[in-house]
């Protein structure tokens, strides 16, 4: 079933202890869409500038991502630069140039308005809500990501959008910041009162924790000898997670757990190479093979 994503499409400059790239396709919506395209048809809503070339577009088109909702505006594409040191859990943002993204006002093409699965990547919560308002019918599942900037500056708007969201996917700091509660399980109870009935806490190299109002489920990050570039791991996790759920067609406790595993597996491929490089060639076969290893990694008898 179709999966709609709205979020940033960017050029990134990335430095890690393994090397650097001065300009590569990035943005939360790009990582999400490429990751999810292994499972289900993806529709993308975003904005790029006139420096966004055919070859950049081709990276997304080759994975059959629907770009009818990718607007072109006069000016430059959103640019982000970041640096990682030996500890890849910490990154320094060096540059954020919003460019055409500053005036982004998402518009859903007619053909997108019936999307049953929706992922609202990290953008202004008012714009996230406007995407939902443009839907012809209520989506089956809405998941949302956000960041400290919006939690601090637009808390009321974020709360309003959360009322229409079933799954909140954020990191542990953001969970604490939204709720003012340090303990993640108690924080989840606050989140449940705001709307979402499922909280997925992304924890980088420590994996991810799902707190659902009926159960808890935890996945590790797949152990790798070398992480080349962690950029986009969280958005790839979200893409694998939502892509799997959209392909499964039903949302049950078991499909939510499998979605956690697929999210972690796809995220682990992304970090093996710079930018979206690994996602360009990733296949469902490779994903399933790693998911099997994952199941051996975590299974035990009592
Ligand atoms: P992640 O590593 O999953 O947090 O995502 C990294 C991606 O987020 C990069 O490709 C950036 O282009 C994009 N990004 C960085 N800052 C922002 C922002 N303020 N709003 C939207 N996207 C951003």
The predicted-structure confidence for 22-76, as pLDDT tens digits, reads as follows: 999 999 999 999 999 999 999 999 999 999 999 999 999 999 999 999 999 999 9
89 alpha carbon – ligand 1 mean position (Å): 15
Contact 100, 75 (CB under 8 A): yes
Residue 80 near ligand 1, beta carbon < 6 Å: yes
pLDDT reading at 104 higher than 90: yes
The whole-number pLDDT of residue 255 equals 97
Question: Dihedral (C-alpha) 172, 177, 178, 183: value to the nearest 10 degrees?
Answer: 60
- β 10-16/19-26 pair status: antiparallel
CA separation for the pair 35, 276 (Å, rounded):
9
Residue 2 near ligand 1, beta carbon < 6 Å: no
How many Cβ atoms sit within 10 Å of the Cβ of residue 97?
Answer: 14
Q: Is the model's pTM score more than 0.85?
A: yes
Contacts of 166 (CB under 8 A, 6+ apart): 141, 142, 143, 195, 196, 197, 198
Contacts of 190 (CB under 8 A, 6+ apart): 178, 179, 180, 181
CA separation for the pair 179, 174 (Å, rounded):
9
Q: Can you tell me which atom of ligand 1 is nearest the CA of 237? A: 3
pLDDT bin (cut points 50, 70, 90) of residue 13 is very high
**What separation in angstroms does the CA of 287 have from each of 36, 90, 92, 276?**
12, 27, 30, 16
Residue 194 tokens read as 């705001």
Q: Can you tell me which atom of ligand 1 is nearest the CA of 78? A: 12
pLDDT bin (cut points 50, 70, 90) of residue 90 is confident
CA separation for the pair 288, 299 (Å, rounded):
16
Residue nearest to atom 12 of ligand 1 (CA): 27
Q: Which domains does the chain have, with CATH numbers?
A: 3-298 (3.40.1190.20)
The whole-number pLDDT of residue 93 equals 96
11 alpha carbon – ligand 1 mean position (Å): 10
User: Look-up: residue for tokens 């959008």?
Assistant: 161
Mutation pick for ligand 1 pocket among 28, 96, 121, 276 (CB with most ligand atoms within 8 Å): 28
Query: What value does the mean pLDDT take over residues 191-203?
Result: 97
Contact 207, 252 (CB under 8 A): no
Residue 173 — φ and ψ, nearest 5°?
-60, -40
Residue 10 near ligand 1, beta carbon < 6 Å: yes
pLDDT bin (cut points 50, 70, 90) of residue 5 is very high
Residue 179 tokens read as 């709720």
Contacts of 4 (CB under 8 A, 6+ apart): 42, 43, 44, 45, 69, 108, 112, 115, 117, 118, 119, 131, 139
Residue nearest to atom 14 of ligand 1 (CA): 27
171 alpha carbon – ligand 1 mean position (Å): 14
- Residue 66 CB burial class (10 angstroms; 0-12, 13-18, ≥19): buried
Query: What value does the mean pLDDT take over residues 269-285?
Result: 98
What does the pLDDT look like over 122-153, one tens digit per residue? 999 999 999 999 999 999 999 999 999 999 99
Query: Which conformational region is residue 80 in: left (phi greater than 0), alpha (psi within -120 to 50 degrees), or beta?
Result: beta
- Residue 149 CB burial class (10 angstroms; 0-12, 13-18, ≥19): exposed
Residue 122 near ligand 1, beta carbon < 6 Å: yes
Residue nearest to atom 1 of ligand 1 (CA): 232
Residue 170 near ligand 1, beta carbon < 6 Å: no
pLDDT reading at 10 higher than 90: yes
């Amino acid at each position: 079933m179709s999966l709609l994503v709205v979020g940033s499409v960017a050029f990134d400059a990335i430095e890690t202890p393994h090397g650097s790239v001065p300009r590569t396709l990035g943005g939360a919506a790009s990582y999400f869409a490429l990751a999810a395209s292994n499972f289900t048809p993806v529709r993308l809503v975003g904005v790029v500038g006139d420096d966004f070339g055919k070859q950049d577009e081709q990276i997304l088109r080759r994975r059959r991502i629907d770009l009818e909702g990718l607007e072109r505006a006069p000016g430059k594409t959103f640019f982000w630069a970041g640096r990682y040191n030996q500890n890849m859990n910490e990154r320094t943002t060096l540059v954020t140039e919003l460019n055409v993204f500053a005036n982004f006002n998402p518009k859903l093409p007619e053909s997108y308005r019936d999307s049953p699965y929706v992922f609202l990547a990290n953008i202004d919560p008012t714009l996230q809500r406007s995407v939902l308002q443009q839907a012809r019918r209520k989506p089956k599942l809405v998941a949302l990501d956000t960041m400290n900037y919006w939690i601090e500056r637009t808390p009321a708007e974020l709360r309003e959008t959360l009322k229409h969201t079933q799954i909140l996917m954020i990191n542990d700091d953001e969970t604490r910041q939204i709720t003012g509660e340090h303990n993640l399980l108690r924080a989840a109870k606050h989140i449940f009162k705001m709307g979402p009935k499922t909280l997925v806490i992304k924890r980088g190299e420590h994996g991810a924790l799902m707190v659902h109002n009926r159960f808890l489920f935890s996945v590790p990050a797949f152990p790798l000898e070398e992480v080349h570039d962690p950029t986009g791991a969280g958005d790839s996790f979200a893409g694998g997670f939502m892509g799997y759920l959209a392909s499964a067609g039903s949302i049950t406790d078991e499909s939510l757990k499998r979605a956690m595993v697929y999210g972690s597996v796809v995220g682990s491929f992304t970090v093996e190479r710079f930018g979206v490089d690994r996602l360009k060639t990733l296949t469902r076969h490779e994903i399933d093979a790693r998911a099997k290893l994952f199941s051996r990694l975590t299974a035990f008898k009592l």
